[in-house]
């Protein structure tokens, strides 16, 4: 009998090899209709692949990332089949899944170029092929046979991929008229795919190398129900309205300049004010938790990053070394802050009584990203991390880790991020070459994270293979107002950098010991965090965070002096206020300032000037009546106090 253990530790027995689909059917017919892939002892398999040994399994539906990935991976193959039928002789690069959907890199025959107008034609062909409900069949062949197959098709891209594989069994997947080199997994047949939308095309160098041929990258997304696609397209329309690049321009928060360089944002006065408010907020929280602020340079000797391991891991993604002509020294633009903080720790000796040492820095770092990968503030070449590193004794590790979780929750509460998932990211034991340090320390670090999460009562998911190269981590994945997931907030446990930098403290036994290092960045990068915050709130920030909390709108130039008097009074009361004294009609001023998302609009005319009052409008709520200046100031002060109530205590 084959024993199959389910996630709830219940066991089902089968007399002969069994597929994931058959296991699902043995549980319920509904589950059999919904299931898309299966994990077998931690490895994702096709539902139709036979399990011939005792195994632990997990069935994945559309609600699981693994289910979506199998569905979208199969959809990429379906798209490739449609393109091959419409454009015979097309060569195919790679076709992976992305956060929402999939893409395939292709090269059309001859001088043909794919255009946006071709996407609808490809969609229709995909729908036609999906309705054939062709089985997606896994086949194992030798490396030599695979090379012969794609040589006969004249597809040098697949041949290059095959040449890099180890000798042995290679898997292909077939459906209808299409065959592809692939490790899988896939859904059982193309009929699962009910709704299709190809979203865009772009240029992409083969394997991301500018020296290689330029291919056409076709993006798409699919769903098991038409209703899901309709809702997704509606969400995209709303996302366009919330695009942080569009809103950032309207609110005059940031800009980019070709003269400065790609991926290097310029923070305008209002954007700088927003950033400083976020920084000041976190600094107050960090002060409560015992952090000291530090500042480190923007460059460092290349050997610093070789010691840390960052150069070996990320050297290709860093700007290349700066060499001093006279002395031949090599420096890098700083790719990470942690090596610098290790050196600060080493400035003086430490006793066990000194620990934990907590140092924080809003440190700017630099990574080279290809121009095609840059996107507003979410993907840039220079960004500032709200970085901090805690050096503690092993017996302090869990408590310090839990305190960082508390800080992240304070931020989420202050900014109304209520829907989140805590993800424990562990190393993949199948690829030990990806990580530095000894397995014993990794075991201790992973166990500390798991126990800390249990003691905090966190609901978590575990992702194997998502750890940083130097240690496991806890990532917080938040959902924004449109239901999109973003990774915000990360905490990492590191036994390895203290060893590589020879960090020490004198223990109570008078012997030398290595501290444990916690890396943490609740915001992540300030640039990306602001982008997410803009799109989550549509630019309507909580009052405490608004760069301009109120704007005074005189109905004519006669009342500009009174408007300025109102602004001066409110600014003295710590209410960030400006005056719109343009020679425009009041209706135009109201519309323009609502577009800037300023929370309060204060209209002043003859009556208000005589009575020293303001007529108040609240963004999104309309007229709030006439108030005395002190009354309005108290209203705003109380609103800010309520928003931040208890966060600093």
On whether the CB atoms of residues 421 and 557 are closer than 8 A, the answer is no
How many residues in total does the chain contain?
Answer: 649
Omega of the bond leading into 356 within 30 degrees of 0 (cis): yes
| 8-state DSSP, 90 | -
Tokens 């319920």 map to which residue?
28
Q: Find the catalytic residue in 182, 286, 338, 549.
A: 338
CA geometry: angle 325, 330, 333, nearest 5 deg: 115
Q: Is 186 annotated as a binding residue?
A: no
Phi/psi class of residue 328: alpha, beta or left (left: φ > 0; alpha: ψ in -120 to 50)? left
> What does residue 463 show for φ and ψ, rounded to 5 degrees?
-120, 115
> CA 161: distance to chain centroid?
29
CA 356 from centre of chain: 30
Choosing from 514, 519, 528, 576, the catalytic residue is: 519
Q: Rounded CA gap, 386 and 363, in Å?
A: 7
Number of helical (H) and strand (E) elements in the chain, helices listed first: 20, 35
144 is a catalytic site residue:
no
Exactly one of 68, 91, 334, 385 is catalytic; name it. Answer: 385
Axis crossing angle, helix 156-163 with helix 143-152, rounded to the nearest 10: 170
Cis peptide before 185 (omega within 30 of 0): yes
The catalytic position among 118, 180, 386, 387 is 387
Strand order of the sheet with strand 137-142? 137-142, 169-175, 178-181
| Main-chain phi, psi angles of 38, to 5 degrees | -140, 140
Left, alpha or beta for 457 (phi > 0: left; psi -120 to 50: alpha)? Answer: left
Tokens of 563: 């408007």
- Catalytic residue selected from 77, 125, 473, 536: 473
Per the CB < 8 A criterion, the answer to whether 188 and 138 are in contact is no
Catalytically annotated residue among 334, 367, 427, 513: 367
175 is catalytic: no
Tell me, yes or no, if 519 is annotated catalytic: yes
Helix, strand, coil percent values for the chain (each to nearest 5): 40, 30, 35
Give yes or no for a contact between 555 and 585, defined as CB atoms under 8 angstroms apart. no
Here the tokens at position 599 are: 């929370």
Q: What phi and psi values does residue 188 have, to the nearest 5 degrees?
A: -60, -40
Which one from 340, 389, 398, 514 is the annotated catalytic residue?
389
Is 375 flagged in the annotation as binding? no
Neighbours of 210 (CB within 10 A): 10
Cα 20 from Cα 66, distance rounded (Å): 14
Beta strands in 415-468 (DSSP E): 420-426, 460-464
Annotated catalytic, 473?
Answer: yes
Asked about 113 being catalytic, the answer comes back as: no
73 annotated ligand-binding residue: no
Does the active-site annotation cover 512? no
Please state the residue numbers annotated as binding site for Zn(2+). Answer: 338, 389, 519
Please state the residue numbers annotated as binding site. Answer: 338, 389, 519
Q: Catalytic site residues?
A: 338, 367, 385, 387, 389, 473, 519
């Amino acid at each position: 009998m084959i024993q199959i253990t389910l996630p709830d530790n219940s066991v089902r027995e089968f007399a002969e090899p069994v597929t994931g689909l058959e296991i699902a059917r043995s549980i319920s017919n509904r589950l059999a209709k919904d299931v898309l892939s299966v994990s077998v002892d931690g490895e994702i398999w096709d539902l139709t692949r036979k399990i011939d040994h005792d195994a632990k399994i997990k069935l994945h539906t559309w609600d699981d990332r693994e289910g979506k990935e199998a569905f979208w991976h199969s959809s990429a193959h379906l798209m490739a089949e449609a393109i091959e039928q419409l454009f015979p002789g097309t060569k195919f690069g790679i076709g992976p899944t992305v956060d929402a959907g999939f893409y395939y890199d292709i090269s059309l025959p001859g001088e043909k170029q794919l255009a946006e107008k071709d996407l609808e034609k490809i969609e229709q062909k995909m729908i036609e092929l999906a309705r054939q409900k062709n089985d997606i069949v896994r086949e194992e062949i030798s490396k030599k046979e695979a090379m012969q197959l794609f040589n006969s098709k004249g597809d040098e891209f697949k041949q290059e991929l095959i040449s890099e594989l180890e000798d042995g069994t290679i898997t292909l997947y077939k459906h209808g008229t299409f065959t592809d080199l692939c490790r899988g997994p896939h859904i059982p047949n193309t009929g699962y795919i009910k709704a299709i939308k190809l979203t865009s095309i772009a240029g992409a160098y083969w394997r991301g190398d500018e020296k290689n041929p330029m291919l056409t990258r076709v993006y798409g997304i699919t769903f098991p129900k038409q209703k899901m696609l309709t809702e997704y397209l509606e969400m995209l329309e709303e996302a366009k309205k919330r695009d942080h690049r569009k809103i950032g321009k309207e609110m005059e928060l940031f800009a980019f300049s070709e003269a400065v360089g790609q991926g290097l944002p310029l923070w305008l006065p209002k954007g700088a004010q927003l950033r400083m408010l976020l920084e000041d907020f976190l600094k107050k929280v960090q002060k409560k938790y015992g952090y000291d602020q530090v500042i480190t340079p923007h460059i460092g000797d290349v050997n610093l990053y070789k010691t840390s391991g960052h150069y070996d891991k990320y050297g290709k993604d860093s700007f290349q070394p700066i060499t001093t002509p006279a002395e031949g020294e090599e420096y890098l633009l700083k790719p990470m802050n942690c090596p610098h903080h290790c050196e600060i720790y080493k400035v003086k000796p430490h006793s066990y009584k000194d620990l934990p040492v907590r140092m924080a820095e809003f440190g700017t770092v630099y990574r080279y990203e290809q121009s095609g990968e840059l996107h507003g503030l979410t993907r840039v070449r220079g960004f500032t991390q709200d970085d901090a590193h805690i050096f503690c004794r092993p017996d302090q590790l869990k408590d310090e880790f839990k305190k960082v979780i508390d800080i992240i929750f304070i931020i989420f509460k202050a900014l109304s991020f209520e829907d989140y998932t805590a993800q424990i990211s562990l190393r993949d034991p199948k690829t030990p070459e990806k990580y530095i340090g000894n397995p014993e320390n990794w075991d201790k670090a992973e166990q500390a994270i798991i126990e800390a999460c249990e003691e905090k009562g966190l609901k978590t998911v575990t992702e194997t293979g998502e750890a940083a190269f130097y240690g496991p981590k806890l990532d917080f994945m938040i959902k924004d107002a449109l239901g999109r997931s973003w990774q915000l907030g990360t905490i990492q446990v590191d036994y390895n950098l203290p060893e590589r930098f020879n960090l020490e403290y004198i223990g109570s036994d008078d012997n030398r010991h290595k501290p444990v290092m916690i890396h943490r960045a609740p915001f992540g990068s300030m640039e990306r965090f602001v982008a997410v915050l803009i799109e989550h709130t549509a630019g309507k920030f909580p009052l405490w965070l608004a760069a301009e909390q109120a704007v005074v709108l005189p109905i004519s130039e006669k009342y500009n002096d009174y408007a300025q008097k109102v602004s001066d009074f409110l600014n003295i009361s710590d209410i960030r206020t400006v005056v719109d004294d343009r020679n425009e009609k009041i209706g135009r001023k109201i519309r323009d300032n609502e577009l800037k998302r300023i929370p309060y609009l204060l209209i002043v005319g003859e009556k208000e000037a005589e009575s020293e009052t303001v007529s108040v409008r609240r963004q999104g709520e309309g007229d709030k009546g006439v108030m005395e200046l002190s009354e309005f100031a108290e209203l705003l002060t109380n609103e800010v106090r309520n928003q931040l109530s208890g966060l600093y205590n």
